[in-house]
Amino acid sequence: MSQLLLCCGASAALHKGVDLASKLTQAGHRVRCILTPTAAELVSPQLFEAVTGEAVSVYEMGPERRGSMDHIELATWASAVLVAPATADLISRLALGLAGDLVTTTVLAVPQAVPRMVCPAMNPNMLENPAVARNLRSLAEDGWRVLDSESGHMACGVDGQGRLPEVEEILAAVAKWLAG
């Protein structure tokens, strides 16, 4: 079983991130979560800790500081990286190789041989935006597996492409991806 680093952005689909963390743990994976600071405002990290049994990280600096360099410790621990849900902003930061928060800093420090998957979740107009499309292409070119979003009713009240797939579908895609 894998040591999965689950990175979550501040999406309306973040509740599925909690369920995903829970089901991956139940499937036998060790799951350590990093939330972006904005994601941690939407859903408490404690919920992720409760379902995974592992400490959750949000910040590297400040009173939460755990080790001397959490991004290196998390990056070398991971045998696979899953970013779900991935916001437009987080996708852009990952595509550009920025390192301004713990999610992006850690992902940059993960060895290239470690498989990584990103699961976009956003409003249909955001997904169609050329900048977002370009950033997703960049990630694919950099070796990321990009999971297609679904079409359907969105939390923002519109119908269209951009929904995070149901957790069972993500689990099936992850199992296939890890099997390789």
Ligand X SMILES: Cc1cc2nc3c(=O)[nH]c(=O)nc-3n(C[C@H](O)[C@H](O)[C@H](O)COP(=O)(O)O)c2cc1C
Binding site for ligand X (CB under 6 A): 9-13, 36, 38-39, 87-90, 121-122, 126
Distances from the Cα of 49 to the Cα of 23, 31, 66, 132, angstroms = 13, 10, 15, 31
The DSSP symbol for 60 reads S
Name the nearest CA neighbour of 84 among 17, 25, 140.
17
Q: Would you say 61 or 179 has its CB closer to ligand X?
A: 61
Reply yes or no on whether 119 is catalytic: no
Rounded least distance, CB 10 to ligand X, Å? 3
Closest CB to ligand X among residues 52, 135: 135
**Phi, psi dihedral angles at 60 (to 5 degrees):** -90, -35
Distance of closest approach, residue 150 Cβ to ligand X, in angstroms? 13
Q: In the 8-state DSSP scheme, what is residue 166? A: P
Catalytic residue among 7, 33, 119, 156: 156
Q: How far is the CB of 165 from ligand X (least distance, A)?
A: 13
The answer to whether 65 touches 55, Cβ cutoff 8 Å, is: no
**Closest CB to ligand X among 9 and 45?**
9
Cα–Cα distance between 89 and 110 in angstroms, integer?
20
Which residues are catalytically annotated? 156
